[in-house]
C-alpha cells in the first residue's frame, strides 16, 4: 500500500504528465484545411466542434488540478456527448480506424466521468492522459489520410 506522500507524488507526476500531453495536444491541432474532401459537414462546423472539445478538455484539466471533481465529471460527459453528436456523420470519417478512435474516446470519457463522480482523482487523471493520447493519435491518423 502506498504511503500518503507516495500517493501525492504519484498524483503530482500524473498531473505533470497530463499537462505536458495536453500542451502537446493543443500545439498539435492543425490549422483548418482550406480544401475539405467531405462536404457533409462544413469545415467551419467541424472546426467549431473540435474547438468545443478542446474547451471541455481544458475544463477537465482545470478540474483535475483543483480537485473539482464535478467539473471533471460534467466536462467528461460533455466530451462524450459532443463526440457522439449527429454532426460527425459516417460520410465525414476518413477511414475505419477513425471509428475505433471515436469509440475509445467515448469509453475513456465515460471512465473519466465515473472516476470523477467516485472522487478518484488518480483514476480520472489517468483517463485524461489516455484521452489526450487518443486525441493526438487520432489527429495524426486524420492528417495522414489527407496527404
Write down the domain spans for the chain: 4-26+42-145
How far is residue 51's CA from residue 55's CA, in Å, rounded to a whole number? 6
CB atoms within 10 A of CB 103: 11
**Is the pTM higher than 0.75?**
no
> How would residue 9 be classed by pLDDT, with cut points 50, 70 and 90?
low
- How confident is the model over 91-145, as pLDDT tens digits? 666 778 988 999 999 999 999 999 999 999 999 999 999 999 999 999 999 889 8
Q: Cell triple for residue 60?
A: 477537465
Q: DSSP H helical segments within the chain, as ranges? A: 4-28, 43-66, 69-83, 96-117, 121-145
CATH number for the domain formed by residue range(s) 4-26+42-145 = 1.20.120.10
Amino acid at each position: 500500500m502506498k504511503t500518503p506522500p507516495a500517493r501525492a507524488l504519484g498524483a503530482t507526476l500524473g498531473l505533470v504528465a497530463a499537462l505536458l500531453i495536453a500542451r502537446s495536444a493543443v500545439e498539435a491541432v492543425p490549422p483548418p484545411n482550406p480544401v475539405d474532401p467531405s462536404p457533409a459537414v462544413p469545415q467551419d462546423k467541424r472546426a467549431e466542434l473540435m474547438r468545443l472539445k478542446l474547451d471541455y478538455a481544458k475544463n477537465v484539466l482545470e478540474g483535475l488540478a483543483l480537485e473539482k471533481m464535478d467539473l471533471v465529471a460534467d466536462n467528461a460527459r460533455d466530451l462524450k456527448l459532443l463526440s457522439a453528436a449527429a454532426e460527425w456523420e459516417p460520410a465525414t470519417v476518413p477511414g475505419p480506424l477513425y471509428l475505433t478512435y471515436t469509440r475509445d474516446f467515448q469509453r475513456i470519457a465515460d471512465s473519466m466521468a465515473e472516476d470523477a463522480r467516485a472522487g478518484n482523482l488518480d483514476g480520472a487523471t489517468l483517463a485524461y492522459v489516455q484521452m489526450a493520447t487518443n486525441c493526438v493519435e487520432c489527429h495524426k491518423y486524420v492528417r495522414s489520410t489527407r496527404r
